[in-house]
Every structure is written in C-alpha cells, then in structure tokens.
Structure 1
Amino acid sequence: MKPPPFDYHRPASLGEALDALAEAGGHGKVLAGGQSLIPLLNMRLAAPGHLVDINRLTELDTIAADASGVRVGALARHAAVERSASAKAAQPLLAQALRLVAHPVIRNRGTVVGSLVHADPSAEMPAVLALLGGSVRLARRGAEREVAATDFFVGPLESALLPGELAVSAFFPALPGRSGTAFCEVARRHGDYAMAGVAAAVTLDEDFRIAAAKVACVSVGPVPVVVDVSQVCGTRPVASVDWDAVAGAVQDTIEPEDDIHATAEYRRHLTGVLVTRALREAAHDAAQDAARAAGEGQA
C-alpha cells in the first residue's frame, strides 16, 4: 500500500514549522514519530495535502521534571520518557503506563505528545493525562494556548488541535506527598491496544487514611473516563476499604460498547477487576510513601 500524494515540508525551526502549518491550513499533518500516522496514510485513511516533518526541531526533544510535574516536548520518544529517572521521580505513573505502550521498537520512535494528539480512547497516554489533570500546549503562528485534558480529548481520534496548530509539549502534574499510582490493563496480546485498562491514583492523609482516590478507564468510552472514587472509598485506613465495592461504583459509571474484540459486558467486567487491582497497588504505593515521609519526619 502507498500513501496518497502530498507536499513534504522539513522545517529547520519551530517558526518555519508553524508557517508551513499555517499555509497548509486544514490540509496539513505533522510527522513526529509516525507510528500512527504512517499506517493511516498507507491505508489511505488519511490524505493530507501537506506533511510537516518536525524531526529536525531538536528544541522540542525535551523532558523537564521538577517538583510540580513533568513537561514533555513534542519530540520526546516514549522510550526516553520511560527511562528518565527525573520524570519517574516526579510522576511515576508515566513509566508505569509507558511500559505497556505497544512494543519497545515502537516506543523507540513514537512520541508521548503524538499519542495524546492521536487521542485513541484505547491508548495509555490520554488516560494518564486525564487522570492527572494535565494539559497540552498548542502553538500556531503568532499565538500559543494551554488546553486542559478535560477539554483536549473531544472524541475518538479527535483532539482540540485546530488546523494550523502544533502540539509542542504536554504537562503531567506531580501528585502531593503520601500518594501512589498504578496502571493495569488486559490486552489480547502483549503490545496490543487494551480491551480494558485502568490508571489509578491514591493519596493518604497523615493518619494513613484515604484522602483522595480516582481512576481513569480506557477502552470504555469515546474519551478516557475519569471517575473520582474518594467518597466511595470513604476516609478509611487502606486495609479497611472495600475495593470491590469501589469497582462496582466505577462499573455503574462507564458505558462500554460491543466491538469485534469484546462485548460491552465483558469490558465492564474487566474494568471492575482492573479498578480493584490498580487501586490496591496505588494505595500500597501511597502507604509506602507515607511511611517513608513519617520516618524522615522522625529522623
């Protein structure tokens, strides 16, 4: 299979890239990792008149982590973010989710920001951004805007990116102290898109009780489905939380659909199992973090 004809642009600076996109308007597509775009082109499911290759823009190949979170540039590859010690320290959920993205050879080329723009509701990165309340920075010629995750994912394979815009970075906020995270999923084969998946985050108070808990579910809606389960968990010690009851509350919230891979009911069942598993793992991590903090406070 061959892609339809297009004009190829290889800008040497961000300004040149934004100029090319502005001139292309709604007929332009950005090539970064290409792990989603190239197959779409070859199957002629996408037919842009202009392809803007940003791989020379080294200023977008960045990973910046501090106490507030992690900002990932548009050319930061999955593998680079997964291996980044500073990113893992600031936001462990990134590495937990990235190890489940496709296969290593895909992660060596694919980009985190590209995955977000692709906006596949079965993908891991959109769920992570949605759970953490992150954002994506979009640039166009002469302007820039930051779009929150709640507004960025519009529908299946549809983001808030407008014609002429380039997603230049994404921000994944850090969680407060005494927090833990986890990402669990079930796929037909390792590296496939998940039939169901759950990202979880749990924060404890100083008495090791649940202060906040929420999950983001993949493959059960047109966009990542975020459910705050703090009230269902209640302000209880971790050991006394009925995680199965919490999972049931999430199952009542989601509205999966049948497809060729699984029935809606099977996806609902899987999601419940994964909610229990992910929340338990996240709560365990939060308890360990809280214990470390308490030990440091007594030292």
Structure 2
Amino acid sequence: MKPSAFEYYKPSTIEEALDLMHQYGSEAKILAGGQSLVPAMNFRLADPSILIDINFLNDLSYINEHRKHGLLIGAMTRHVQVEKSSIVAEKCPLLHETMPYIAHPQIRNRGTIGGSIVHADPAAELPAIMLALDAKLRLRSKDNERWVEIADFFTGMFGTAMTENEILVEVAIPHKPKRYGFAFDEVSRRHGDYAMAGVAVSLRVDRKGRCEQGKIVFFSVGDAPVLANNASKLLEKEQLSDELLENVANVASEQDIEPGSDIHASAKYRRHLAKVLTKKTLKRAFDRAQM
C-alpha cells in the first residue's frame, strides 16, 4: 500500500518547524528518521495530512557533555552516532551497551534518538533505557519550553505526555554516580527483531557493596516501559547473593509486570524470560559496580 495524500514541508530552522506545528497541530506529523512513521503511513496506520520533515535541522544533532545536566543528546542524533560515540561509551555505558541491539545497521543509520522515544513503542529498547537512566526530555512549542521527567512521559501504548504542537528537541541523561553498575539484555527470535522481553538494570552501591539505589526496567511486557517498583525496592541496602537474585527476579516477574500474549510469545513465557533476564542482568550490574 501507499500513504494517503499529504502536504510536505521542509523547515530550515527549529522556529519554522514550531510555527508549522502551531499552525497545523494534530493534522501534522514530524518526520525524523522515518523508520517507524513511513511504514505506518504505507499501511495507513498513520494518516497525517501534513508532514513536517526536520531532517535538515542540523542544530538538533549533537552529543555533548554538560557539567550540570550530564550528557545532552539532540533529538535528531542518529542511532549510529550514539552507538559509535566515545563520549557515550565513557559517560553512559548502559546506553552504549544497548545500541547494537536496536534493529539492524540500516535502521540505525537513519533512525533518531528523539524519534524512537516519541514513538513510544512498548517493545523498543530506548524508552526503557531512558527510564532506567532517569533521563529528562526538553520539549518546545512555538510559545513555550519545558522539561519533562522520563517517568512522566509515557502514558500508554504509543502514548506520551507531549501536546500536539510540541517537538522533542533534547535528551538529558544525568552523570553516572561512583560505584555504578549497569546491564542490558533481551530475547528475540532473531537479532534485530523486536524483543519478546527485555530488561535494563541501573544501580549504585556503597563501599561495602550494598545497593544504595537500583532500577529494574522491562520492555515488551506491557503497554509502555515498566519500572519494576517492588523488585527495585528489594535491592535497597542489600549485597549481591543468590537469595537476593532469586527473590528479586520472582517479585519482578510475578508482581511488577502484566504481560500479554501475542503471536510472538505467551504471557507465561514472557514472565519466564523476565525472571531469567532479571537474574542475569542484576548479577552483571552488581559485579560491574564493584570493579
């Protein structure tokens, strides 16, 4: 199939793009990498009458370190740029570890950080990673700018807290703390396919190896990335042990998620994957935090 007819705009500045969004609102869609939007338009799952192409806004493509705000990534930064960035590898190793899992090289060459986050696919890696990292998102409209905590951004299946005339322009990831541990893993039928289940762990420990704060975040097990609140609380003031891994994995897979069944995996199998992945990633994160 082919998309319905639409008007095409190619703004040369962010201000021009914001003016167009203000003018057309819900009629318009932003075209960033296009790796999700264009297929959806071809199948007429998305049917915008206005397409605003921001691929020429080079000011939104960057990776910078900021003394106060941490790692700043422009919304139009391509996945491949993040994947190959030495700054990301040093300052945000969880993100660096995750990038090769995202789709295939051809997709990563075009896909953008902002596009993936805004698309809010519950099976996508980046929304979950950003939740594990406590990221903040800078949104702009014609008359306003605001920061949104990532925990408040995802509202459900492909849903976000953005208003119809806003554009995501920047992602801020806080500085990693001392004695920081992280890990990522997923299970898919083939590398590059959407995961049947995946998990990201981010934690810090004290000098004695006890967890001071930890986050376990799942994807592809609900309508949005899922923070395993109950399981994460069990980590507080605890050292790594087989008993801890078992308890946390049981709570995470049985209490914190409500996976559904589809053609890719049953709910029961997704719970099993969540348990296995939690134990693997949690152990790796603890080990890394104490290196």
* Shorter-chain TM-score range: over 0.9
Q: Which residue of 282, 286, 291 corresponds with 2:289?
A: 286
Count matched residues.
288
CA shift digits 1:151-181 (9 cap, x unpaired) = 1101111111211111111122233100111
1:57-72 equivalence runs, <5 A: 57-66=57-66, 68-72=69-73
Relative distance call for 1:169 and 1:234 in structure 2 (3 A) is: closer
Shift of 1:231: 4.0
Q: Distance in 2 between matches of 1:101 and 1:172?
A: 19
CA shift digits 1:3-49 (9 cap, x unpaired) = 11110000011111111111111100001100000100111111101
2:177 maps to which residue? 176
1:257-296 equivalence runs, <5 A: 257-288=260-291
Q: Distance in 1 between matches of 2:92 and 2:220?
A: 23
2:143 maps to which residue? 142
Identity %: 43
More displaced stretch, 101-110 vs 232-241 = 232-241
Q: The residue matched to 2:275 in structure 1 has which SS?
A: helix
2:194 maps to which residue? 193
Shift of 1:204: 0.9
Shift of 1:242: 2.5
Shift of 1:230: 4.8
Equivalent position amino acid for 1:281 in 2 = R
Give the TM-score taking structure 2 as reference length. Answer: 0.95
Give the TM-score taking structure 1 as reference length. Answer: 0.92
8 Å CA contact retained: 1:79, 1:107:
yes
1:235 maps to which residue? 237
Q: The residue matched to 2:228 in structure 1 has which SS?
A: strand
Shift of 1:117: 0.1
Q: Distance in 1 between matches of 2:118 and 2:109?
A: 18
Shift of 1:249: 1.1
8 Å CA contact retained: 1:66, 1:90:
no
Equivalent position amino acid for 1:138 in 2 = L
Equivalent position amino acid for 2:29 in 1 = K
8 Å CA contact retained: 1:22, 1:164:
yes
Gaps of 5+ in 2: none
Gaps of 5+ in 1: 289-299
Shift of 1:60: 0.3
Equivalent position amino acid for 1:262 in 2 = A
RMSD after superposition:
1.4
